Structure 1
């Protein structure tokens, strides 16, 4: 009887998986199309025709999408006086799904798995057979999405919340006076530019290996009108050898960048090399355990492991790389930081960011 009950429970779970996987795909489409925002702004039930008209979308597609949302419990269906079906997004759902949700927005993440599937599904499948990685160039749409996501996130918390929390406010005081800062793995330069705008007395260097991302970063910096910033193409792992950046920087940041490196230890050694003798390093990376068992109760463990499987791990495997993956975990991170030479490492929660930890390291 116990085996029968277990089988029944697992069968029910499989039905949930199929339904929720489908729901995530449809929600990602709806989010991108602005449908949640239209319904949230209305604050009253609307017909499918009215929703389509306000969103400037095809009515037949929107009607089918609404079927998914109603069956998935995302949108309520009510009948108008003439019996016409009308659709309503409850306010508490909009609090998590509409763009107005800000840092509480979970709807934006419904796009991640569909995008990764489009970019890399077949290459990931082949990787199961060959063990080969997948290069960054395979993920253009996903990286554009992550750039937009990082843009929104950094604009909300970087200057006003995160930086003031570093070293009990002493970092912000130093930034105001003027110091040399390096943002390693800067991508399209969102965080680097925001810091340069906020602290004009300091000088900022953004480093990345992607020429395309750096072109975008330079264009963004010109558009922002900042002149205390440069962007350079460098391999972080090569910085561990004495070079023209050795002992140049007072402060180095790496926002979710280390776990994607093909040579993460060497990249951390490179950061140690380019810091001044009394310099500090902020590594912002995922809050997880290095042992799978320690992540069983993580509320988004399966989601994060999937993102890692589809992107972070395979890009880290390119050219025989380490392939750390997003879920490399606090214990492995602390060990690797110590191996890189950092004798003082403090691990702290980040205000308004439940996904990441701040590893604050002193040289």
Structure 2
């Protein structure tokens, strides 16, 4: 290619963007350190603080803390006050970085790219051979990071907003029904519903035995193990029948046979039951998803979602940006034709499916 064909401004702008992306990756490492060392929690609500004071309160070495603070200030995560050589975490940033109960809390999300780097050799082999990579084959930070990150988002939306958006769901849950949570992971979504609706019975199913063990432990810690049951099972053969509500929380697109899972859900539903499908936010066309959220989901889908679906046989590999029309078609093939968008957030679509 001759130099005359190169748009220099376009080249420089793109190179600057690529450097910015690399800087963002470095920032993720700093976020992980700050979270695990308690640096953000120490800064939260404390006002301006010197590196020496932060090191003393957090029990860390001052020279490392000072460099970390400067990295965070350069990233715009922490404010720097030059007059007093002090650093401050604003209340707004504290909700994102320090408050583990906040829906905006983000540090756990950085466990996913960390696991992706650790799994690079598996991904290279998968690309070259077409084989899948099952959920349990990933670095352990992936499952733990996904569970912890999604927990707060579900806590903010599931009971207050999503369930009330389903036709008659709250009334049925209050009266008492059986609920199946398919692909329940560490059980956070199951336990949120069980806590809110004591008259109903909840069953969580997942193929990943380590996640089921974690879910059982969370149930015991919450005092809900008498009403919530977790079991290793696939999405197309879990036991039971007559479920008043069957939930797929960010799970369907990970499955190797989503149509089979939808068919099994149709067979397991009570006559007046419904399916709640929560999926990553997406439009129906690639051009609809060329956004920051789409960028995030397509990357995760490459390494995690498609890889797991292929590991399960890959009869239909939806990916994390499937879009409403492809999702609706999955359930139409299973004989569930009433499909509507009940709610949405910046990151999720919530669908209600009935007979």
Q: Does TM, normalized by the shorter one, top 0.5? A: yes
Residue number in structure 2 paired with 1:196:
194
Work out whether residues 94 and 101 of structure 1, in 8 Å CA contact, stay in contact via their aligned partners in 2.
no
Question: 255, 270, 286: which one pairs with 1:261?
Answer: 255
Is 1:109 aligned to 2:124, yes or no? no
Question: Whole-Å Cα distance in 1 between the matches of residues 32 and 110 of structure 2?
Answer: 5
1:220-267 CA deviation, whole Å, 9 max, x = no partner? 33333332332232221236xxxx634x21211111111111211111
Q: Tell me the secondary structure at the aligned position of residue 45 of structure 2.
A: helix
**What is the total number of aligned residue pairs between the two structures?**
348
Question: 169, 172, 175: which one pairs with 1:174?
Answer: 172
Q: Kindly indicate which of the two structures has a greater share of residues assigned to helix.
A: 1
Question: 276, 279, 287: which one pairs with 1:285?
Answer: 279
Deviation for aligned residue 1:35: 2.0
1:7-22 matched pairs, under 5 angstroms? 7-22=11-26
Question: Whole-Å Cα distance in 2 between the matches of residues 73 and 217 of structure 1?
Answer: 36
Is 1:26 aligned to 2:30, yes or no? yes
1:42-86 CA deviation, whole Å, 9 max, x = no partner? 122x121211222222323222222321222322333455xxx32
Is 1:245 aligned to 2:245, yes or no? no
Task: Give the unaligned 5+ runs of structure 2.
Answer: none
**Greater CA deviation, 2-11 or 307-316?**
2-11
Q: Tell me the secondary structure at the aligned position of residue 346 of structure 2.
A: strand
Deviation for aligned residue 1:101: 7.4
Question: 220, 223, 243: which one pairs with 2:221?
Answer: 223
Work out whether residues 29 and 111 of structure 1, in 8 Å CA contact, stay in contact via their aligned partners in 2.
no
- What is the TM-score with the length of structure 2 in the denominator? 0.89
Work out whether residues 164 and 170 of structure 2, in 8 Å CA contact, stay in contact via their aligned partners in 1.
yes
Where in structure 1 do 4 or more consecutive aligned residues deviate above 4 Å? Answer: none
Distance 1:75 1:196, change over 3 A: closer
Distance 1:111 1:233, change over 3 A: closer
1:191-214 CA deviation, whole Å, 9 max, x = no partner? 222322322222222222222222
RMSD of the TM alignment (CA)? 2.3
Question: Whole-Å Cα distance in 1 between the matches of residues 143 and 185 of structure 2?
Answer: 9
Question: Whole-Å Cα distance in 1 between the matches of residues 313 and 255 of structure 2?
Answer: 11
**Greater CA deviation, 177-186 or 32-41?**
32-41
1:37-52 matched pairs, under 5 angstroms? 37-44=41-48, 46-52=49-55
Is 1:66 aligned to 2:69, yes or no? yes
Deviation for aligned residue 1:145: 2.1
Work out whether residues 290 and 330 of structure 1, in 8 Å CA contact, stay in contact via their aligned partners in 2.
yes
Residue number in structure 2 paired with 1:165:
165
Work out whether residues 250 and 276 of structure 1, in 8 Å CA contact, stay in contact via their aligned partners in 2.
yes
Distance 1:159 1:348, change over 3 A: closer
Q: Tell me the secondary structure at the aligned position of residue 21 of structure 1.
A: helix
